[in-house]
Amino acid sequence: MNGDSNLGAAISLSVRDLVVSYGDKRAMGPVTMEIEQKRVTALIGPSGCGKSTFLRSLNRMNDLVLGCRVEGDVRLDGQAIYGPGVDPVEVRRRVGMVFQKSNPFPKTIFDNVAYGLRIGGMRDRAEITGRVERALGRAALWNEVKDRLGESALGLSGGQQQRLCIARALAVEPEVLLMDEPASALDPIATAHIEELIHELVRDYTVVIVTHNMQQAARVSDYTAFFYMGDLVEFATTDAIFTHPSQSRTEDYVTGRFG
């Protein structure tokens, strides 16, 4: 099902006929969708519907899964990311990712945030420090950790660790931030912080978020895509999806008539 976004709005990611398979089994697709720049797009759907698979296709993380085949076209700002000769490493620098369970490295807070910069070849200590501070600020974590950048990241609370992972992803200054159920392992207050953070981030980044919490999708996103059994069933503004969806499967899912 085609998504119709605002005509004329800047498109960050353009997906056309994307199909992901493991061996001969089709896991997701074909999906065609356009993700608008500097907006939050939420992907919802029951377990196993393909939304996480779709998300991972946007930064070529599916390449790391054995036996995974991706067909179709994904364009970031007009450039095909699955084109011949395109380095997935480059793609991942422009499309960052935050995972469901926070996964900070067992290094210091500073080294965690600086990791992406260092592997990208940045050497200038002053520049790294500046970027780290900016990233931590953007992730609303700077004030809490500015005096203990040399301590281990594993000493932070769950919510702080997740914000650290966000800062780590932001440090390389991507264009798009992918978030795979970023708050599902957090308590309500930490979740609220993350959602507030997303509101701030979207001023500078395009955000695509997978969530199984429908209220969260409703609170946080501008557009919502409903996936079911590997297909994109409906893609529309969040208001439309949650007040008058056009597909009955969408209606059934959001009102809890499934299963």
Partner 1 sequence: MRAREHTDQEFEQELRHLREQLLLMGSHVEAIIGSSLRALVERDSELAQRTIEADRIVDRLEIEIDGLCLQILARRQPVASDLRFVTMVLKAVTDLERMGDLGVNISERVLELNSELPLKPYVDLPRMADETQMMLREALDAFVAKDADRARRVIDRDQMIDDLYAQIFRELLTYMMEEAKNVYRATRLQSIAKYLERIADHATNLAEMVVFMVKGSDIRHPDSRDQNEKN
Partner 2 sequence: MKRPASRVGSPPAPPTGASGRTTHPARPALRAPSSPAADHRGRFGEAERSERGGGGRWGAEGRSEPSQGSHHSSRLGDVALALGTGLAVALVLLIVVVILGDVVYNGAAHMTLGFLTQAPRDGMTAGGIFPAIFGTVALVVLMTLAVLPAGVATAIYLSEYANPGSRFTRLVRVAVNNLAGVPSIVFGLFGLGFFVQFVGAGIDRALYGGQRVFGQPALVWAALTMSVLTLPVVIVATEEALSAVPRELRLASAALGASRLQTIVRVVLPQALPGILTGAILAISRGAGEVAPILFTGVAYYLPKLPRSLHDQFMQLGYHVYVLSTQSPDVDATRPILYATVLVLLLLTFALNATAVVVRSRMRRRLAGANS
233 binds partner 1 (CB under 8 A): no
258 binds partner 1 (CB under 8 A): yes
User: Partners of 74 in the beta sheet?
Assistant: 15
Q: How many residues bind partner 1 (CB under 8 A)?
A: 18
Structure token pair of residue 152: 């281990």
**Run of H or E residues at 100:** none
Say how far apart CA 73 and CA 33 lie, in whole Å: 11
**Run of H or E residues at 214:** helix 214-220
Instruction: Output the smallest distance, CB 237 to partner 1, in A.
Output: 13
123 binds partner 2 (CB under 8 A): no
Helix (H, G, I), strand (E, B) or coil at 205: coil
CB-based contact 182:162 (threshold 8 Å): yes
Helix (H, G, I), strand (E, B) or coil at 245: coil
Kindly give the interhelix angle for 109-119 and 125-138, rounded to the nearest 10 degrees: 120
Scanning 139-213, the segments in alpha helix (DSSP H) are 142-145, 158-171, 188-201
Looking at this protein, which amino acid is placed at residue 178?
Answer: L
Instruction: Output the smallest distance, CB 207 to partner 1, in A.
Output: 22
Q: Give the per-residue contact string, 45-84, with partner 2 (x = CB under 8 A; - = no).
A: --------------x-x--x-x------------------
43 binds partner 1 (CB under 8 A): no
Site residues for partner 1, window 235-254 (CB under 8 A)?
A: 241-245, 248, 250-252, 254
96 binds partner 2 (CB under 8 A): yes
**Contacting range for partner 2; rule: CB under 8 A; set: 102-110, 133-141, 194-202, 245-253:** 102-110
CB-wise, 73 or 251, nearer to partner 1? 251
165 binds partner 2 (CB under 8 A): yes
Say how far apart CA 151 and CA 22 lie, in whole Å: 41
Looking at this protein, which amino acid is placed at residue 152?
Answer: S
97 binds partner 2 (CB under 8 A): yes
207 binds partner 2 (CB under 8 A): no
115 binds partner 2 (CB under 8 A): yes
Note the residues at the interface with partner 2 (CB under 8 A). 59, 61, 64, 66, 89-90, 92-93, 96-97, 99, 101, 103-106, 115-116, 119-120, 151-155, 165, 168-169, 172
